[in-house]
Amino acid sequence: QVQFRESGGGLVQPGGSLRLSCAASGGIFRLYTMGWYRQAPGNQRELVASISVGGGTTNYADSVKGRFTISRDNAKNTVDLQMNSLKPEDTAVYYCNRPSSSTFNWGQGTQVTVSS
């Protein structure tokens, strides 16, 4: 089974930045479009960014467009999320997975907290 390990979360002030990293193992990472999801307490998990297998195409939710940048390094089996101009509403646990109904198992995620 493909496994994901997310890291890089933390506590930041509004307007601050964080860079999240997702390390994948157990599969052929290069084959998959990848995405970052987030889930705030009491809320549905939502897809915020995705990136094509070659990294040439990216998509973002309107809520993060212009502030977040997704990237990948297939040689390292990693996908990153650079988050700038963070807002309190960005507070959530962030996960990586396929941006598809056919997701792999979810990792533990990494917590991002933006103080209000």
Q: pLDDT tens, 28-85? A: 778 899 999 999 999 999 999 999 999 999 999 999 999 999 999 999 999 999 999 9
- In eight-state DSSP terms, residue 40 is -
Would the pLDDT of 27 be above 80?
Answer: no
Evaluate the CA torsion angle 50, 77, 110, 15 in order and state its sign: negative
Q: State the pLDDT at residue 76.
A: 92
| pLDDT tens, position by position, 83-92 | 999 999 999 9
* CA–CA separation, 54 and 36 (whole Å): 16
